[in-house]
Every structure is written in structure tokens, then in C-alpha cells.
Chains A and B, each alone.
Chain A
């Protein structure tokens, strides 16, 4: 049953753990080039150490030295049958003598090789997968903030007049970042200017919300400022409506009918040098009151269709950065 093959001192290199350490060293060295020279130095040391051990191991035969003790070598059981003389270098599990009374089974070499293959394969897979997955996923979640957008002089916004204002959120990205806001100058409250600035994306599923009322296209004003084309069209809406699934909002952005899960998103704004600047968008669960006196229940920006209050919001416990 047992073909006896391989003379003692065969030329097949003995399996060794050193290459694994060598590979880890190389990985640390590479990581170090990004993370810092201390880590790179550590990696270099590990690489050199394991590289030396590996070479020493592999050249044992050439140097004519006795093979060092192999960790996997099983001791020959005293009562092992004569036909099953164990030969660690090239025998599989099948070749092992059945454990007899009192004999402790040692970790067999083939199992070690199997596990090592799986392990090394896993390491290779990880080395490829981790950067690739990171590259695919992480950029979508990092550095997503955008700067402030100048949409015109405060004087361009007549009091109590809605202006459909279209602008580029990020002129570097171009037309793909075109956004529309419904802006109404509420006048001043306690000496502070007040604006109602609603984002035109429906909070149901992101469709473009339309003003319910006459749009005076012929009175549009255009302005180009810092490579940003801005269009302002006066409109007299009695509310806003979404043409996809029939969501309805009032002029403060509160949901009146249909599936929207919260009030319309709003833009933060600031005024610098007489210019109106739009900042980040934020989500709103409810607005009480009107215009300058409105009391807004503000939340972090959420995706369309995501509840920000009430029991349904428990479905979305964490939100992406």
C-alpha cells in the first residue's frame, strides 16, 4: 500500500515558515513607504531576517549540513508497523500509522500544507482585495464636503418673491453638479436678513420638484460669476409638487400630500459683501410658522426616502459621512 519513495535526504526542499515571514516583511515595507519611514525600516528588518533564514534553509543541502530539525517531523512510534515506516518528507496522511494505544497523534504534514496553502492564498487574496475594495468604496465616503456657492447679490432677490435659482454646486465638476434652489427673500428679522432656500430634490426619491404656479421665464436674469452660470427665474408658486409619485409640499416645504417622508431639504446660507452664499444642505422634519418667523426642525442631511424622525427613522440608525 505504501510506495516507498524518496531516499533519505531527497532534494525536495523542506517546507518552511520563513517565506511567510518574508512576505509579511515585504508587505510592511511597502505599507511603510506610505505610512512612514519607521514602519518601512521595521519591514526592511523583518524582510532581511526572514530572507536570510529562508536562504539558509533552502541551501542546507548545498552546504552539506545536516538538515535542521523540522517542526513537522513526527517521532516514530515505537510500535509502528514495519511496513509503515514514516517518512515525513513525502508521505501523506494515508501513510500515517494508526494511532495505537498511548500514542499521541502529531500534527500531520499534509494537514499543515493544506492549511498553509489556504492561509497563503488568503493572504494573497487579501493583499489584492483590500486595496481594490478600498479604492472602490472609500472615495465615495471621504472628502464629500463642498464649498460655498455665490448665487447673486442680496439685492437681486426681491422681498417676498420666489426665484428659481439654478447654479453649479461645484464649477470644477461642470454641468453634472447643476442644482436648483427655490429662494425667497423673507426680508429682515431683528435686523438679520432671512431667506427661505429649498432644494429642488424631492425627499421621496429625488425627482425634480416643480413649482405649482406661473413661472415667468421671460423675466429670468442670468449672471456668470467665477465660472458659475447662475439663472434666476421669478415664479409665484402656491406650493411645490413632484411629478414622479405625486408628492406635494407647501411653500415652507412641509409635506402636504403623497409619499415624501419629511419636509423639503434646505440650504444653509450666509451673506458676505452683499452676496448671498449657499452652503451645505440639511434635512428638515417640520417647519412651523412662515417666512422669517418659521421655526425649522433641523436634521443632518439624509438621503431621499429616509425618515429623520418618528419610529420609521429607527430603520436608519447610522448615516454615511
Chain B
């Protein structure tokens, strides 16, 4: 039995002989294919640029099919902008959201990307078999499918991740629309959005679930919860045994006055869930 190195060399020798005997010149056959593909690439780029430009406007708010031409000028002191990376970093962006404990931050930022890079660089050194046919490389094929799937899922999650934006009128209008909120609940909805409730609560898919806070989209349809109940609860969650949620009532050292609490309670009581 010859050594692996000898076998590899013999195979490459065989490859060279095969190509010499039965191969075809790169030009024009193969190069023609390459050229057609390059034409496709350039056309796609120009098409994307055109769609992007002609469906958008000069104003940063006039986003087209492929997004705006630019957002507002950079403001290093902003307090209401929600940063998002370019699409090809969405997977990393979502990875960072997964590692939501202080001591695991480094795994998402440096750990996993470094491991991936090392796996990629090392690939030809731990896959030493000569076999190239897919059906005989089950590990490689499964690994490839898993990588593509997880990258796809992470990218998708990153792309659709929504975040509470303080004072975003479109979000509130969307809620009024989808949850059939009465006019009296609108002020409370705006307050709910502004007050940062969505930093912990999800409402109709917007916001993030932190500290085990429940989804509030249909909180009003649960039995026995009246406006009065919500007013008292939000004013001081401690009296209901909740030691996680901040205290909001001004009487208890919070930031909302009675009228604001009342509006918020109206909104919560009217939240019956979609449909």
C-alpha cells in the first residue's frame, strides 16, 4: 500500500495527463462561459443601482425598494437612532443579540468569528481524504448544510429584528390599525412607545423580551384586568409582587403622573390582540 502522499501525487499526475489528453483549451469554450457570467454580473449591478436610485428620493425618508439613498447625516450625539449593519453582517449582529449576558459578550464578538475563520483556514488540513464526490463526503455535506442554514436563519433574524424607537409615530399608527384601538387609547399607545416599555415588552412584534417580561399585544383580553388594575399595577408593580419592573407612578417615585398612568391603562385595557 502506497502512502497517502504518494497516492495524492499519483492522482494529481493522473489529473494532469487526463487534462492534457482530453481537456479543451480555456479559450474560447470556457472563457465564453466566464464572459457570459461576467455580463450577467455587471447587468445585475447596474440593475440594482437603477432600481435603488429610481425608486427612492432625495429625501432620506423617501426609501425605495432597495432602501434610501442615504440616511440623515451622522450625529454622534443622537438619542433616537437605531443602528443596523449592512446586510452581510446581519448574522454577526444577531449573534451579538443571542449572547445577552455580560460574560458571554466576547463569544459573539471575537470567539465565534475567530473559530469560524480558523475552521475555514484549517479545512484542507483536517479533510485529508482524496474523495471529492458529495455522496461520499457525508460529514462535509452535513456541515455545509448546517452552516448555510444557520447563516440564513441568523441573517433573516437580524434583518427582521425590530427595536423600540422612542416616539416613532408610524409604529403607533400601525398598532391602532392592527389592534383596532379606540381613539382614547391612542395617547396611551404613544406614551407606551415613548416610555421605553418595548425595551422589555413585545407589542405586536415590536420590541424585545427582556427580564421575562410578557408580550402585551393582547393583555387587555385576559380576564379581570380593568383600567383601574393597570393604573395601579404600572404605578407600583411592587404591590403586585413584581420586583423586576420599574415603578412608574410619581407618588411612588416614578416618572408618570396620574393622567399619564390613566392613558397608559386605557391603552393596555384596549389591547385585545390582532384580529
Contact = CB atoms under 8 A, between A and B. Distances in A.
Given a CB threshold of 8 Å, the question of whether A touches B is answered with yes
Contacts of B106: 305, 312, 315
Contacts of B104: 259
19 contacts: A164-B79, A166-B77, A180-B79, A200-B79, A205-B96, A207-B83, A208-B79, A210-B80, A212-B196, A212-B197, A212-B246, A213-B255, A214-B255, A236-B255, A239-B199, A241-B164, A243-B164, A246-B100, A246-B210
A261 B255 contact: no
Interface in B193-209: 194-197, 199-200, 208
Contacts of B195: 212-214, 238
Contacts of A83: none
B211 interface: yes
Nearest to A176: B76
Contacts of B97: 245-246
Contact of A257 (B79, B166, B196, B210): B210
Contact of A238 (B78, B81, B82, B254): B254
Contacts of A239: 196, 199, 246
A200 B199 contact: no
B105 A211 contact: no
B62 to A, nearest CB: 23
Contact of B83 (A167, A200, A215, A244): A244
B15 interface: no
B99 interface: yes
Interface residues of B, number: 43
Contact of B166 (A200, A207, A210, A256): A210
B254 to A, nearest CB: 6
**Which of A167, A208, A305 has most chain B Cβ within 10 Å?**
A208
Contact of A258 (B100, B248, B254): B100
A61 interface: no
A81 B1 CA distance: 50
B109 A238 contact: no
A237 B199 CA distance: 12
Given A178-B76, A210-B79, A257-B200, A215 B194 contact: yes
Given A212-B199, A214-B191, 17 more contacts: A177-B76, A178-B75, A179-B77, A211-B79, A212-B246, A213-B196, A215-B194, A238-B247, A238-B248, A239-B196, A241-B164, A243-B81, A246-B100, A246-B210, A259-B101, A259-B105, A262-B102
A317 to B, nearest CB: 15
Contacts of B210: 246, 248, 257-258
B103 interface: yes
A312 to B, nearest CB: 5
Query: Closest 9 A-B residue pairs measured CB to CB?
Result: A212-B196, A241-B199, A236-B255, A178-B77, A180-B77, A238-B246, A243-B82, A261-B102, A257-B210
A208 B81 contact: yes
A243 B191 CA distance: 18
B96 A259 contact: yes
Contacts of A245: 96-97, 100
Contact of B105 (A176, A214, A261): A261
B79 A259 contact: no
B169 to A, nearest CB: 13
B256 interface: yes
A175 interface: yes
Contacts of B274: none
A91 interface: no
Interface in A217-264: 236-239, 241, 243-246, 248, 250, 255-262
A307 interface: yes
Contacts of A312: 102-103, 106
Nearest to A201: B76
Interface in A75-111: none
A210 B82 CA distance: 10
B189 interface: no
B23 to A, nearest CB: 42
Given A212-B195, A215-B194, A307-B102, A243 B163 contact: yes
A211 B196 contact: yes
Contacts of A262: 102
Interface string B33-63: 0000000000000000000000000000000
B105 A305 contact: yes
B269 interface: no
Interface string B73-100: 0111111111100000000000011011
A266 interface: no
Contacts of A307: 102-103
Given A213-B196, A214-B195, A237-B255, A259 B76 contact: no
Contact of B211 (A166, A179, A257, A261): A257
Contacts of A179: 76-77
Interface string B239-255: 00000001110000011
Nearest to A236: B255
A235 to B, nearest CB: 9
Nearest to B78: A208
A90 B43 CA distance: 62
A7 to B, nearest CB: 51
B265 interface: no
Interface string B111-125: 000000000000000
